Chains A and B, each alone.
Chain A
């Protein structure tokens, strides 16, 4: 079965890069332009994994995770935080919000795909 990934990022460039990388790896990708759009899409699509940026207009990435974890539908979906920040503070916040993992921008294609495979069990 194809693994479906929802990528939420307000940067068009990052969205395109993610789409390209993930599609090349054989995943099915849909994108959302901010947190509100992301949650809307999440509720109507059955994502196997969500990738979200942190700093976004309307609703940030941590709020997105809180919404996902606080809802009923697909609430235990793996969520990867994609961010330029790194370090303990970020990890702490991501952990608190309920993120499954984090990837630091700029991301390495292979590492990202490997992490997704690991978190979703995709072949």
Chain B
């Protein structure tokens, strides 16, 4: 039952769903919903894990699930009254079960130190009765037989089925066939008890008995196996024939059957369950509670292929559009109207396909409940995690890749943000801290907020740490935002900060990196004494983005519109030269460094005059404003993002590539990386305090 490795994947994938259902049920129970349906759902989730885990010989998992399930069964049957302690143990058991699944998945040894105490707690609810008293009772068959002396004995089997034998789906012919498969047989039937009148006869009455002689068997075990399910449904005798053994009389069948012919004869013509539309609708409703019946499971690879195909469709659409324009056809108005329809349809298909990949953040948020609980336990703080916008849908990849950063941010908020209960009381706050995890959609982006009502960021201290770590110069002029973003600087997390919660080898810089990799940004707002809010803004999808098509020294490239604040055609008066190579743009009284994108991309010489170029004002979270100088702007349109990492590795300043309407390939610029490269350069070449702060903030 375990041969195929992909079966394991199916199992672990199902486990994810089961653990989600378990977590949801346990949370509902904690919140006071202890109706039988909720408890049943929890029970079933654990039961299913146990049932399927057995197939893969995951004994530790099966053993734990079994005890867990038994306790839940006692709760379900009200042999155990729910109280806070039981609820707490059930929650922890859910956590342990999830961990056991994880370790099984990774083929790691079970962490007994973690499992044993919870197991002991569970067992304490079950009293003295061992959890598996009911299980694994071996049933001895009470059939007397003589041990055969050699392998050529002849066994005599007589069996007389009772009525129940027939009604439970058995057929004497099949039994005899199975016996015949064991060796040479002689079969006879005893019809002596058949009534003489046909009217009194019914096939269902156990009136017949059979006698089967089987040669060449070494033991009666194969025979008993044939009767495995029916030994109580027929009078059965198995005996070893020796020359001087009397052949026993055929046993008499029980004659309990009282069914009449009318209700047994197969009468499909009066099937009381005709297939009507009504009924179908009703049974579909009945099944409302079952998820599997209402959703479809598809291999993600198929969806990715579809997304790719849709991407090609959009490219194809712009190719056609461009060709038509070049063709200069007469009376092309209608053609272009049709083309617009095509464009709309393509866009609609694209959105539809994207929607398939979209997943609610709920499972992710549910995992965070556990993270928060553990973090609160570990730090001795009282924390309530409130989730909002569970139903918000995000691209599957985004959901998956958000798990680690969110985990770290939740831990961080509890570890560093929320104060110990006594300190909170002293500050006039509720002893229990509040942590809010909210997701919502906002104009083409997803915003996820992690807000605590803790102490807020201690900016002087952050600054002090950053200076002591050499991340910023002592005399650097830093804005509040810049100080806040120091949290994300690599190397900011220090040993001094490591509590029993942190010290997992992840700093906030990793959070930042993960979110940036998803094309997202993190913003921090904090009020000292009031709390801190981290806002993560993510694109709805990773596959398509709005881009500005630019010309760079004759090459067409794409800059993501999301990072462009505005475009400017500079006047000579607004440009000032600093040193040999650095130019500043004055805009609304501020000076912004200009980065020559062509130069950064390794293009050589004969640059156009700056006044003849276009400047793209860029702002990202980690880098203050700067302006990218490009030659021309061609267009603004949706582009399909193709990763180049697989073929070319990571290229600084390039985030991917796309195919344009004319079939040409254009590189997509990563403005943040470009700006960071520039500031790092500037920091080593200038004494400008502001520049130094850029490096720290990157």
Seen from chain A, the residues whose Cβ lies within 8 Å of a Cβ on chain B are 10-14, 16-17, 20-21, 33-34, 36-37, 40, 43-44, 53, 55-58, 69, 71-79, 84-89, 91, 95, 98-102, 105-109, 112, 115, 118-121
Closest to A53 in B: B51
Given A57-B289, A72-B272, A98-B168, also A88-B54 (CB < 8 A): no
Chain B residues with Cβ below 8 Å from A43 are 273, 275
Q: Which 4 A-B pairs have the closest CB atoms?
A: A101-B229, A100-B169, A78-B169, A106-B54
Report yes or no: B268 in contact with A72, Cβ–Cβ below 8 A: yes
Partner among B17, B40, B174, B271 whose Cβ is within 8 Å of the Cβ of A73: B271
Closest to B58 in A: A106
For the A-B complex with A13-B52, A71-B273, A95-B232 known, give 13 more contacts whose Cβ atoms are closer than 8 Å: A10-B292, A12-B297, A21-B1, A34-B292, A36-B283, A58-B287, A72-B266, A77-B169, A84-B51, A85-B134, A87-B136, A100-B169, A119-B229
Chain A residues with Cβ below 8 Å from B56 are 106
Distance to closest chain A CB from B212 (angstroms): 15
Report yes or no: B1 in contact with A16, Cβ–Cβ below 8 A: no
Partner among A10, A12, A73, A79 whose Cβ is within 8 Å of the Cβ of B10: A12
In whole angstroms, how far apart are the Cα atoms of A115 and B177 in the complex?
Answer: 13
Report yes or no: B271 in contact with A72, Cβ–Cβ below 8 A: yes
Interface residues of B, dominant DSSP: helix
**19 pairs from A and B in contact (CB 8 Å cutoff):** A12-B14, A13-B11, A14-B51, A58-B290, A69-B167, A72-B270, A73-B266, A73-B271, A74-B266, A78-B169, A84-B54, A98-B167, A98-B168, A98-B169, A100-B170, A101-B229, A106-B55, A109-B1, A118-B226
Q: From A79, A84, A108, A120, name the one whose CB has the most chain B CB atoms within 10 angstroms.
A: A84
Report yes or no: A102 in contact with B50, Cβ–Cβ below 8 A: no
Given A40-B283, A99-B168, also A84-B174 (CB < 8 A): no
In whole angstroms, how far apart are the Cα atoms of A49 and B208 in the complex?
Answer: 25
Chain A residues with Cβ below 8 Å from B40 are 57
Chain B residues with Cβ below 8 Å from A11 are 14, 48, 51-52
Chain B residues with Cβ below 8 Å from A44 are 275
Query: Contact mask B163-174 → A, CB, 8 Å, 1/0?
Result: 000111111011
Query: Contact mask B43-86 → A, CB, 8 Å, 1/0?
Result: 01001101110111100000000000000000000000000000
Partner among A12, A85, A100 whose Cβ is within 8 Å of the Cβ of B168: A100
Chain B residues with Cβ below 8 Å from A12 are 10, 13-14, 17, 292, 297
Closest to A107 in B: B1
Report yes or no: B55 in contact with A10, Cβ–Cβ below 8 A: no
